[in-house]
Structures are given as C-alpha cells and as structure tokens.
C-alpha cells in the first residue's frame, strides 16, 4: 500500500475513532446530567463501557501492534513539516497536553451547567491523541536517518 493511501486510512481512522469516542462520552454524560439515567445506571454503564474499551484496546494492541507501528513509520514523513524541529514539537506537545487538561477539568467540573461543558469533556481525549502523535513525531525526528531530508 502506498504512503498516500496509508495517510488517508490513518486520517479516516482518526476521524471516525475520535468521533465515536467523543459521541459515546457525550451521550453517557448527557444522559446522567439531564436525568435520563440515575446514578446507579450511570456507574454500571460507565463500567461496562470501560471494560469493553479496555478489552478491545488490548485485543487491538496484541493483534495489530507491529502493523500499526510500520504504518505510522511509513506516514511520518508525510505529516512532518520541513519546519518542524524537536523544540517546536515539544512546545506543541505541551500545549496539547495543557488543552487536554483544561478541557477535561473544566468540562468535568461544570458539566451540570451547560451542554457546552459536556462537549468540552467529551472532546478532551482528542487532544491527548494528538499529543501522542506529536510525541511519535519527536521520536521519528530523533531516530531518522541522517541523509533523509524533508
């Protein structure tokens, strides 16, 4: 598979995965805050969601670890800019982690005041994923061959 197709596949996985995860978190929090389910159902459904997420995450990691690593390594030159440096990427990672923390804490703290805060809480994992991607970029730049310029 060529690199452009791998990049399109990566982007599609990201968009679909983050949309589904954020939607699930939003619906779960919204149902509790607006009285559709009680506290017991909220906890039970949260534990079930968590158990399924952990189980599928472990299965996915075991089955596709090597393939995913190769695919990510193949698309790195396409997502790294010629202007990216380790210092800039470290700053970007810090900003993304701070945004994740802010969205998570503010969304969780004020979730009962407005739907906007539930949306903030639901979108927060996206920032964490992006920070992990930036971390992969940093590792790639540290380990790239010397003759490789882009």
At residue 149, the pLDDT reads: 53
Those residues whose C-beta lies under 8 Å from the C-beta of residue 127, and which sit 6 or more positions away, are 96, 97, 99, 100, 103
> What is the end-to-end Cα distance of the chain in Å, rounded?
21
At residue 75, the pLDDT reads: 86
At residue 146, the pLDDT reads: 57
Q: What is the pLDDT along the chain (150 residues), one digit of tens a residue?
A: 688 888 888 889 889 989 998 998 888 888 888 888 888 888 898 899 889 989 988 998 899 888 888 888 888 888 888 888 889 999 999 999 999 999 999 988 888 888 899 999 999 999 999 999 999 888 888 887 655 555
Q: Write down the residue that tokens 């990427």 correspond to.
A: 89
Half-sphere exposure of 82 (CA within 13 A, CB side): 3
In 42-57, which positions are buried (b, 16+ CB within 10 angstroms) versus exposed (e)? beeeeeeeeeeeeeee
> How far apart (Å, rounded) are the C-alpha atoms in residues 143 and 19?
32
């Amino acid at each position: 598979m060529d690199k452009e197709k791998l990049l399109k596949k990566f982007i599609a996985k990201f968009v679909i995965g983050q949309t589904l995860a954020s939607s699930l978190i939003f619906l779960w929090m919204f149902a509790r805050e607006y009285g559709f389910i009680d506290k017991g159902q909220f906890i039970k459904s949260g534990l079930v969601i968590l158990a399924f997420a952990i189980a599928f995450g472990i299965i996915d990691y075991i089955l596709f670890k090597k393939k995913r690593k190769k695919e990510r390594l193949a698309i790195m030159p396409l997502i790294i800019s010629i202007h990216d440096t380790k210092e800039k990427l470290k700053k970007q990672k810090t900003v993304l982690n701070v945004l994740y923390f802010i969205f998570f804490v503010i969304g969780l703290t004020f979730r009962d005041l407005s739907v906007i805060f539930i949306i903030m809480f639901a979108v927060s994992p996206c920032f964490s994923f992006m920070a992990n991607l930036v971390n992969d970029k940093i590792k790639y730049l540290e380990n790239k061959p010397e003759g490789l310029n882009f």
